[in-house]
Structure 1
Amino acid sequence: MAPTLVNAAVGVLLGLALLGAALDRRSLVVVAIAAALPDLDAVAGLVVVGATNVLLHTLLIPAAAFVALYWETRYRDRSRLGDRYGWYGVRVGWVALAAFVVAGIGLDCFTTGANLLYPLHDRFYAVSGRLLVSTQHGLVQTIADGGAPLWLSSPGTTETYHVETWLNPTPGTGIETGVERRLHLIDAGWQLPVVVAAGIAAAVRLREVR
């Protein structure tokens, strides 16, 4: 899975792009937390076998949140969210949901994979493929394969596939002793400029909106 720091950084970048007039320190923190929230299912992995990248990585949660938020803001006579926080709260709610899906769940689909349809369908899915131009072979792509919009590989199910985390580095449940634990802050070189860019961009934009 992508480090939580990277999930939050991508969430911050989404917030800077989508919050518009609702951008302030509080709204950006909310969006960053929403982006990091799916990784909390690693805590459940201490007591539930195979919970990491499953319980909060299923698309059923944001789907239900989308329906609830859409109904709340479009079809109710009086929106509780709108009444309490006005247009600001509605905008932050939608952007936080986008960050949860794109930065929280989506980013992990490009690394270790996520169990996207759990509990309706127990299988991890990871997006793989490439797009390149070769002097010998021309345009080469394996992203769209066999007519499918995305080429998805599956590393396994909750019974056969384990996602390593600092809390639960080995298969099974409980906090084991004598096991190496590694807290990944940056997992690949490209992630460092993403985190740095998010921090710099947030500092500049928040200074401008004061």
Structure 2
Amino acid sequence: MAPTLLNAALGALLAAALLGPAFDGRTVSVVVAAAVLPNLDAVASLAVAGATNTLLHNVWIPLALAGLLYWDTALRERSTLRERHGWRGVRTAWVVLAGFAAAGVAPDLFGTPGANLLYPIEDAYYVVDGLLLFSTQDGIVQTFVSATADGPGLLPFESTGTTETRAIPTWVNPDGRPGLALGAEREFVVVEAGWQAVVLASAVASLAVRFRPRTRASAETGDHAGDAGEASR
């Protein structure tokens, strides 16, 4: 499982980049919480076998939420979310969904040990792995799509096991199996690679810049921009 601080940092970066005029302490907190939320399936693993990177890491949750949001905000004649919370609520909801999927689930999908994307329809942890580069001798080299005898095939999805064959250890559940191992050593990973430290530092810097005291004129400009955007809808 990716470090929790990495999920939080990615969520903070998404909040800083996507919230726009809706950016404030409360909305940032909600987005960061959504990014960390998938990690709670590690707690469920204390009672449910194979819950880590499974219960909240499957693709069905963000797809269902995206469909519900789109239906309410784009297809319905009167949006419940927009009527209750205005344009800020709609924008925040989409960014929260992005935080859950891109900052919460994706880091585990694109690194070991993987995410159980199709659970419960299919029980398999998947990892996306591939290479894309430009070589002065070979030109563009990529391993994401490969032509086979049966036609193009997506190779980056590699299965790393199932809930029965693989137990994912976390600081909450060190052996990854049901039961509370009180005497087991627990390690809370802050960062496990240099690039993760860079992401964490970038998130802190981005939030520091966004939270700088704004002048009254700039604040009013941001509010007018949000109101104009809502009016255009």
TM-score category (smaller protein): over 0.9
Report the equivalent of 1:152.
157
Letter of the 1:34 counterpart: A
Whether the aligned pair in 2 keeps the contact of 1:145 and 1:151 (CA below 8 Å) is: no
Letter of the 2:95 counterpart: V
Report the equivalent of 1:142.
143
Report the equivalent of 1:187.
192
Unaligned runs of 5+ in 1: none
Letter of the 2:117 counterpart: L
Unaligned runs of 5+ in 2: 220-233
The one-character-per-residue Cα deviations of 1:76-125 (angstroms, maximum 9, x if unpaired) are 34322212210000000001101111111111111220000111111110
Q: Does 1:206 align with 2:207?
A: no
CA distance in 1 between partners of 2:153 and 2:8 (Å): 30
TM-score under structure 2 length normalisation: 0.84
Q: Does 1:116 align with 2:121?
A: no
Q: How many residues align?
A: 210
Q: Greater shift after overlay, 23-32 or 47-56?
A: 23-32
CA distance in 1 between partners of 2:156 and 2:184 (Å): 35
Q: Greater shift after overlay, 124-133 or 62-71?
A: 124-133
Report the equivalent of 1:71.
71
CA distance in 2 between partners of 1:208 and 1:58 (Å): 39
Q: Greater shift after overlay, 17-26 or 140-149?
A: 140-149
Measured after TM superposition, the shift of residue 133 of structure 1 is 4.2
Measured after TM superposition, the shift of residue 149 of structure 1 is 4.8
State, as a whole percentage, how many aligned pairs show the same letter: 52
Letter of the 2:142 counterpart: Q
Gap change, CA 1:133 and 1:76, over 3 Å in 2: closer
Q: Secondary structure at the match of 2:182?
A: coil
Whether the aligned pair in 2 keeps the contact of 1:113 and 1:155 (CA below 8 Å) is: yes
Measured after TM superposition, the shift of residue 141 of structure 1 is 2.5
Q: Secondary structure at the match of 2:83?
A: helix
Q: Secondary structure at the match of 1:31?
A: helix
Measured after TM superposition, the shift of residue 131 of structure 1 is 2.7
CA distance in 2 between partners of 1:59 and 1:164 (Å): 22
Q: Secondary structure at the match of 1:190?
A: helix
Whether the aligned pair in 1 keeps the contact of 2:52 and 2:176 (CA below 8 Å) is: no
Report the equivalent of 2:132.
131
Letter of the 2:103 counterpart: A
CA distance in 2 between partners of 1:124 and 1:13 (Å): 27
Letter of the 1:165 counterpart: T
CA distance in 1 between partners of 2:114 and 2:201 (Å): 25
* 1:1-210 superposed matches below 5 A: 1-111=1-111, 112-134=113-135, 138-146=139-147, 147-149=152-154, 151-209=156-214
Whether the aligned pair in 2 keeps the contact of 1:35 and 1:100 (CA below 8 Å) is: yes
CA RMSD of aligned residues (A): 1.8
More strand by share: 2
